[in-house]
Amino acid sequence: MKKINSLSIVFPLYKDKSTVRKMIFNSQKALKKTKIKKNQIVIVDDGCPQKSGTYAKKLSKKKNIKIIFHKYNKGYGAAIRTGFKNCSSDWIFQTDGDAEYDVFDLLKLLKKKDNSDLVITYRLKKKYKTSRIVISWIYNKILRMLFHTNFRDISTGSRLVKKSLLKKVNLVSNSPFLGAELAIKTKYKGYKVNEVGIHTYPRTFGRGSSVSLKNILLTIKEMLILFFKIKV
């Protein structure tokens, strides 16, 4: 496996105060396991009403932790894009702040990086409510039909991306469509995408905002914009 000079972990926060401590602790531990000395953790508070970012700031005593605040809720995709822009590393591991994905999966994804510009994930077993499984299945099916992709599960919130790739794909999504946008643009521009199977741990508190009506409608809008842009 080729050596990496620098690595960042990025995750957004929105109503995720109960998982902040776990996310910071596990991120630090995962980075230590990689043995990559130049590393950082970038946390984006997306206008969280629980002030999760402020809480994270109190917990963050190390210099390698950077916290960015959105004045208002701009959306999942917007928070990820802010995180990407504030990373100074060669490679970025992006995950979600609700601990649904295991930060230690970073180690699995790193094993696939040598022949990749982007490593995405697919869920080995979906432990969710039937309604969410159905929505995910329909979403992936539509994306395969529209963009002629063969990705197993494009809707996960865990991925490893080469920083240099982000300048070439120009991400614009503000919704949860951002992950799909990244994978589709990477494929269409001829860069290499690999996939890794992971386990997920559905949140035990609240409800994920990605399946809200507002986010579903915005995702559909951004999906169609990309579709017509590519077709033209």
Question: Which residues constitute the domain of residue 106?
Answer: 6-231
1, part of any domain: no
Distance CA 62, CA 149 (A): 41
Residue 210 pLDDT grade (very low, low, confident, very high; cuts 50, 70, 90): low
188, part of any domain: yes
User: Cα 224 vs. chain centroid, distance in angstroms?
Assistant: 21
pTM score of the predicted model: 0.93
Q: Render pLDDT for 155-184 as a digit per residue (tens, 0 to 9).
A: 899 999 999 999 999 999 999 999 999 999
Coil vs helix vs strand at 178: helix
Q: Which residues pair with 13 in a beta bridge?
A: 45
Residue that is written with structure tokens 């697919």 in the block: 122
CATH of the domain at 215: 3.90.550.10
139, part of any domain: yes
116, part of any domain: yes
212, part of any domain: yes
172, part of any domain: yes
114, part of any domain: yes
Beta carbons within 8 Å of 48's beta carbon, 6+ residues apart: 13, 14, 15, 16, 17, 73
Is pLDDT larger for residue 183 or for residue 210?
183
41, part of any domain: yes
Domains of the chain: total: 1
